Structure 1
Amino acid sequence: MEKNIPTLYEWAGGMPVFEKLMSSFYKKVLLDDTLEPIFKHMSADHQLHVAHFIAEVFGGPKMYSSEEGSHFKMIQKHLGKHLTETHRKRWVQLLIETADELTLPDDPEFRSAFVAYIEWGTRIAVLNSSEMEVALNPDEPMPKWGWGEPGGPFIP
């Protein structure tokens, strides 16, 4: 008997959950002494773009890559931002707190996959933020994250 295992996107509750997560999260970011200086000039659509990006990575519809950007363009947004480990840790902390407050699934399997991606993605963002350009194919595919799949070692 084959199991019908939902995607992380489906398990979390779909696009409304990701949009609400990012809306609530970025409200906190703009009130945070560490992160507000970095994000105070973000576009009004920034939180939606991030919601759509993460939702797609977790198996949701291809809204980000088909309508709003690409993995390559997301990486470009971090170039030259000079993010620090302090910024990264605070971003992760606030996002996890927001996920708890909005009662995203808290089962160990979902949270392990959710936190693994957030950790992986933010560490890549910090690395890219110290660069002014990266040698990356503009057609670089979107990351895909599932139940317990590691992203592999980072090799610059």
Structure 2
Amino acid sequence: MTERSETLFEAVGGIDALRRLSNTFYDAVLADPLLAPVFADFSRTHVEHVAVWLAEVFGGPTGFTDGLGGHQSLLRSHLGLSITEEQRLRWMELMTTAVEKELPDDELLRRRVLEYFDWGTAIARDVSADPVGQDLGDPGPTPRWGWDGLA
């Protein structure tokens, strides 16, 4: 068990750091020929929603659950996207670059954040194979990710 008193949210630098991370990442995604088509309907509000999601997942405020539809909404947003494993791996490459640029120079912190993204993108890829409107059942609450992984 990791002995750190702060949440990942606090360790990354809070919502401002997550906004920077999201902006840097999505700038790269939209310029990437493999990933840009997945984000054909992208809007800049997506960046803010991702930052709010990550804040909640990493132990910060519950803004995604409180105001943006929670876990069900996040999963539903991936329906019908047909994300390939090649796209998922490219997503991870671009996110790794963004993490290295925007998050504190802390090897364990960066590793934990990237472990979350690896876990989450595998779920997104799986859900994306289902058609829009698919009944996902109750996925439960927004997951929480800490120093020891999924909480």
TM value normalised by structure 1: 0.87
8 Å CA contact 1:7, 1:59 repeated in 2: yes
Q: Report the AA paired with residue 12 of structure 1.
A: V
State the partner residue of 1:115.
114
Report if the CA contact (8 A) 1:57-1:143 is conserved: yes
Match of 2:143?
Answer: 143
Instruction: Give the share of equivalent positions with the same residue, in percent.
Output: 37
- How well do the aligned residues superpose, as a CA RMSD in angstroms? 1.6
> What is the letter of the counterpart of residue 12 of structure 2?
A
Counting only pairs closer than 5 Å after superposition, residues 7-18 of structure 1 correspond to structure 2 as: 7-18=7-18
Cα distance in structure 2, aligned partners of 1:89 and 1:147:
23
Task: Give structure 1 regions of 4+ aligned residues with deviation exceeding 6 angstroms.
Answer: none
DSSP-derived class of the 1:78 partner: coil
Q: Which amino acid aligns with 1:66?
A: D
Structure 1 residues 39-98: Cα deviation after superposition (integer angstroms, max 9, x where no partner): 132123011101110111000111111112210010001111100001101111101101
C-alpha distance in 1 between matches for 2:93 and 2:137: 29
The code of the aligned residue for 1:119 comes to: D
Which runs of 5 or more structure 2 residues have no equivalent in the other structure? none
Amino acid at match of 1:94: L
Residue in structure 2 matched with residue 71 of structure 1 by the alignment? 71
Indicate the SS of the match to 1:92. helix
Q: What does residue range 60-139 of structure 1 map to in structure 2 within 5 Å?
A: 60-102=60-102, 104-132=103-131, 133-137=134-138
Amino acid at match of 2:137: L
Query: How far does residue 17 in structure 1 lie from its aligned partner after superposition?
Result: 0.2
